[in-house]
Amino acid sequence: MKGFLYIFFTVVSEVIGTAALKEAQNFTKPLPICVMSVGYVLSFLFLSLALKVTPMSVVYSVSSGLGIIFSCLISRFYFNQSLDCSQILGIILIFFGVLLSNGTNVHNT
């Protein structure tokens, strides 16, 4: 269970870093650059902690899938970018794909 907590913090810090990268506007705004840097460093820190206690296949698939889902939600609700039906379906399929591909591995962590 601790591994999934690390994966969650990996994803959250990476998505915050990516959102700050967009806000940095080609590295012209200092505060978003600092937030981006801290976000990415924390993301790698939590990723390394997750890899200590959880199989790499689980860490990679869950963090990638959740990263895509969270990034789409941030782009929709923070940056006011629209999501069409095919993108929403893709998000749902990613969610279920992560669940299906890691269903047997969850009990091994």
Q: Token pair 């981006």 is at which residue?
A: 36
Over residues 18-36, the pLDDT tens digits come to 999 999 999 999 999 999 9
- Ranges of each domain in the chain: 2-108
Look at residues 65, 40, 61 and name the one whose alpha carbon lies nearest to residue 109: 61
Look at residues 67, 55, 70, 68 and name the one whose alpha carbon lies nearest to residue 3: 55
CA distance 97 to 91: 10
CA distance 105 to 109: 7
Which parts of the chain sit beneath pLDDT 70?
103-109
Q: Token pair 């999934």 is at which residue?
A: 4
pLDDT of residue 109: 47
pLDDT of residue 100: 85
Residue 14, sorted as left (phi over 0), alpha (psi -120 to 50) or beta, turns out to be alpha
The model carries a pTM of 0.85
